[in-house]
Amino acid sequence: MFVAPLLYVVHAVLAATLSATLYFIGLSGNFGGGLIDCFVQNWIPLFRYHAWTYILQIAIGLGFTAIYFVVFRFLILHFDLPTPGRTDDGGEDKLFTKAEYKAKKEMEKKGIAGGADALKAQVFLDCLGGPDNIREVTNCATRLRVTVNDPDKVAATSKFTNAGAFGLVKNGHAIQVIVGLSVPNVRGHFDALMKGEMPAAVENTVPETKEASAETPAAPAAESIASVDEDDRSMKLKAFVSGDLVDISEVPDDAFSQKMMGDGVAIKPSGDTIVAPADATVSMIMESSLHAIGLELSNGAEVLIHIGLDTVNMNGDGFTLLTQQDAQVKAGDPLIRFDRDAIAKAGYNDIVIMAVTNSTEYPQMKKEPDQPVVAGETPIVIF
């Protein structure tokens, strides 16, 4: 309907013609429930009395199958319709939800063009009640944090997840859209859409981050070390900081404990330095607060390391960056040093979380049980 409306119109005509043809031969009954209903309510009890009619039904059905194929193939090739599988090289094959289609059309009316992150921003904006319902927008390492005027105008969680969000956290007027590591790009598009424009360089724009105290605390980050196993058949992620290992489900933050951002582990730290999991690329740094860092490991795993709950509000005090954006780090390289006393003095929890944000791609991932761990030495996760 949305990808190729012409085909939908042709389908409506062919479907009506099929129904009329079946009615013409005297065939009627309940055929809308699939093969089971067809057999139980029609063919099995009635075939002995209407065998020829049901044989004609099958023959007409096969005939219309051939008609559909010939007509659709001609139209698709003649008009070069961009049905899934026929997009340009490098293009994305995507079936749009109703919300995404509506958002895409709104962007086109405004003369705005963008990729997946831009489309997410538009859908999120619509689902949050539109620009007039937005009072304040900020973001942390993984979440778009929005204060709305009327919480009743915020759409159901499914509307956000269908558009690519990992989840939604509501706390009165404070709304958190769990976006993932792409949140800086989505935030940039979101801000531009609020103004009715789309800067060309928005993909490289990382807005200043601020966290509203009324919202659910930001999830702690954790870090892991990956080193290729001796037989090259698995990867071991080692402790990213010294301390006591716990499962991510024990973290006092809904977005992480419910694994909205992916599966993982957390460490109650005794050390003060986050180290690199393995040969990896530094894909994201929260430069304004230094409380979170993202890594892309050599096996394709995307790891978020988040230090302390709500420590974004410290604005970098007590944190020292030991690497840089896009750096190629080796296993055990120091990434961030943090002051546990400063975190405690500020009244925040210093737990450190590691979330593998694309953990669904690694169903074989195995986590080690709760235990004391040493940074860069103790295996905690095996792929």
Tens digits of per-residue pLDDT, 275-324?
987 788 999 998 889 999 999 988 888 899 999 998 988 989 999 999 99
Q: Is residue 85 part of a domain?
A: no
Please name the residue that has the structure tokens 């400063």. Answer: 342
Are 238 and 355 members of one domain? yes
Are 47 and 168 members of one domain? no
Are 159 and 298 members of one domain? no
Q: Which of 78, 110, 137 is the last residue of a domain?
A: 78
How much is the pLDDT for 215?
A: 38
CATH for 288: 2.70.70.10
Mean of the pLDDT values across residues 379-383? 86
Are 235 and 270 members of one domain? yes
How much is the pLDDT for 163?
A: 82
Rounded to whole angstroms, the Cα distance separating 181 from 301 reads 12
Are 248 and 360 members of one domain? yes
Which among 127, 140, 292, 301 is annotated as catalytic? 140
Name the range with the highest mean pLDDT among 213-222, 223-232, 294-303: 294-303
User: What 3-state class would DSSP assign to 178?
Assistant: strand
How much is the pLDDT for 205?
A: 42
Are 159 and 248 members of one domain? no
pTM, rounded to two decimals:
0.59
Q: Is residue 320 part of a domain?
A: yes
Active site residue 140: yes
71-75, 86-90, 252-256, 346-350, range with the lowest pLDDT: 86-90
Given a cut of 70, whether residue 152 has pLDDT beyond it is yes
pLDDT tens track for 325-362: 999 998 889 999 999 999 999 999 999 999 998 888 88
How much is the pLDDT for 224?
A: 38
Domains of the chain: total:
3
Confidence class for position 212, pLDDT limits 50, 70, 90: very low
Q: Is residue 105 part of a domain?
A: yes
Question: 190 and 144 in contact (C-beta within 8 Å)?
Answer: yes
Rounded to whole angstroms, the Cα distance separating 272 from 251 reads 19
For 273, the domain range is 224-382
Rounded to whole angstroms, the Cα distance separating 258 from 168 reads 11
Q: Is residue 13 part of a domain?
A: yes
Question: Residue 318: how many CA atoms within 13 Å on its side-chain side?
Answer: 20
Burial (CB count within 10 angstroms: exposed 0-12, middle 13-18, buried 19+), residue 285: buried
Identity at 309, one-letter amino acid code = L
How much is the pLDDT for 235?
A: 75
In b/e form, how buried is each residue of 99-128, taking b as 16+ CB within 10 angstroms?
bbbebbeebeeeebebebbbbbbbbbbbbb
Are 132 and 40 members of one domain? no
Given a cut of 80, whether residue 193 has pLDDT beyond it is yes
CATH for 126: 3.30.1360.60
pLDDT tens track for 79-128: 888 777 675 544 455 555 666 667 766 666 655 555 778 888 888 998 99
CB atoms within 10 A of CB 340: 15
The candidate with the shortest Cα–Cα distance to 354, out of 212, 217, 256, is 256
Burial (CB count within 10 angstroms: exposed 0-12, middle 13-18, buried 19+), residue 30: exposed
Residues near 353 by Cβ (< 8 Å), separated by ≥ 6? 219, 220, 221, 222, 248, 251, 256, 264, 265, 266, 304, 305, 306
Are 11 and 73 members of one domain? yes
Q: Is residue 217 part of a domain?
A: no
Q: Is the dihedral of CA 202, 204, 210, 215 positive or negative?
A: positive
Are 140 and 32 members of one domain? no
Rounded to whole angstroms, the Cα distance separating 331 from 369 reads 22
How much is the pLDDT for 370?
A: 94
How much is the pLDDT for 114?
A: 59
Residues near 272 by Cβ (< 8 Å), separated by ≥ 6? 241, 337, 338, 339, 340
Q: Is residue 213 part of a domain?
A: no
Q: Which residue(s) pair with 321 in the sheet?
A: 336
Q: Is residue 376 part of a domain?
A: yes
Given a cut of 80, whether residue 60 has pLDDT beyond it is yes
Given a cut of 50, whether residue 201 has pLDDT beyond it is no
Are 166 and 253 members of one domain? no
Are 338 and 249 members of one domain? yes
Pick 130 or 35 by higher pLDDT.
130
Mean of the pLDDT values across residues 132-157? 90
Question: 124 and 165 in contact (C-beta within 8 Å)?
Answer: yes
Are 251 and 375 members of one domain? yes
Q: What percent of the chain has pLDDT over 90?
A: 38
Average pLDDT, the chain: 82
Q: Find the helix packing angle between 51-78 and 5-24, rounded to 10°.
A: 160
Q: Is residue 257 part of a domain?
A: yes
Length of the chain counted residue by residue: 383
